[in-house]
Structure 1
Amino acid sequence: MQIAYPPPLPHGEIRQLLRDFFMVQGRARIAPGVYVNRNMGIVRSGEDLLLVNPVRLCRRVEEDLRDLGRVRQAVRLGYFHGCDDLYYRDRFNVFFWRQPHSDHYPLPPADQDLCEGGPCPVPGGQVFEFKHSLVPEAALIVPQDGGLLLTCDSLQYWHEWKGCSWAGKWLMRAGGVHRGMQVLPSWRSRATRDREHNLRGLAEDFQRLQQLPFYHLLGAHGQFCADTAHEQAAAAIANGFSKYSGTGRAA
């Protein structure tokens, strides 16, 4: 049976950000004429590649990806992502990771559940889970260049609107997205349904996140934040959960 995979949307080239970390910025279609940017992280370990929040590439850039190393694993960090995961599973036979119940896109099934305290797709890395979120959401710590935090929708850094259509930019700004580091307002609302006890629990999750060692950050949307991600994350968390005492203190 032939599978109708979603076609690749316009995207950029593979960019090297750290010694063994790369990214591609593509697009996600929200509605007719409404596009926002979408990032795929690429972690290289020896000659093996891990794709984080996969984005399908055109054939030419896919060949560039092959030149970087062997595409061996892929990981889904957020519930609302995953439209291109099955393509990579079938094209490269990747070993696939996602959280239990992260099944907005039900395929492919996980080869290994992504769980805090369990195995990590990155050698020497660490899995973090937002345990109080009502939708599955995770993050990865990659132990290179002082620590790299990879997120999905929860924590993002924006300094420009590149990759967004005019309508996409308007939608993001209307939803509270601004320049700089932020706990994404639309994701926080979905994760808690704005219930007081859920908000308090999510604030505790972000306090735990602040204890992790990282200097850099890449989310599934927005841009790469180099060197100052930890201090900017602390300020964003304090702003996003200002009601809850103790939240936002740096590690």
Structure 2
Amino acid sequence: MRLTDKLSKTTEYLNTQGITQIDIGMILGSGLGNFAEELENPIFVNYSTIPFFKESTVAGHKGRIVFGTLHGKTILAMQGRYHYYEGHAMDDVTYPIRVMKELGAHSLIVTNAAGGVNPSFSNGVLMLINDHINLTGTNPLIGPNEETIGPRFPDMSQTYTAKLQAIAKKAAAENNLSLQEGVYAGFSGPSYETPAEIRFAQIIGADAVGMSTVPEAIVAAHCGLNVLGISCITNMAAGLQASLNHAEVVEVTQKINHSFKQLLASIVEKIGKES
């Protein structure tokens, strides 16, 4: 089935659930999904019921979308994502971004829990993503291209929108929140990186590493969305702390949840209808 046909079926179903035109799409990473419950007049829909969506199997990912409003903007938020390492094809992993664009979104805010590579970082730091490095070994745009959706060879020079980055910095300053800035390197997972891989990531310019976001940002750029990325540094990466585990990831995101929600709400308030 052609991508355009799939998108039509998905959006038709979401329309029947009361989900219509949106301004901003959001992907809320591990332990960060509670922000979606800040939305007014929310409509919740499980991924399992949505045509062509997949299910998330990872702790800290609720596996549903939330549609609602905040500061006068209509938002469609994913409470958790599904990942390439769960066995899903890249076009399935990134399909929700296509749906957000089809529903009229002009901007995508993508968040994640990440490992710190920059030695000046510490657990609980929020990092504004200003660029990324694709180390997943694949690309979500491999295969036939739908020219009506995006170009065969999209320009990735400004994947993360400068105007949205400026808004995020202003929101952090006004709320007295610390916001670091850096490059996110995306690995495929599900194993954590080795100390040697982290040394490599440092050498090539990464400040944080994770197992998501990069494919989503590529697809968002392909279909013309403005993109803002924020990482929560939940642990220092391999070789920079004694050991790694996912329980620590969820624990740290819970601790910084208030600051994260405060920052995100302020960003949404500042984003214009035509950002």
TM over 0.5: no
Q: TM-score, normalised by structure 2?
A: 0.30
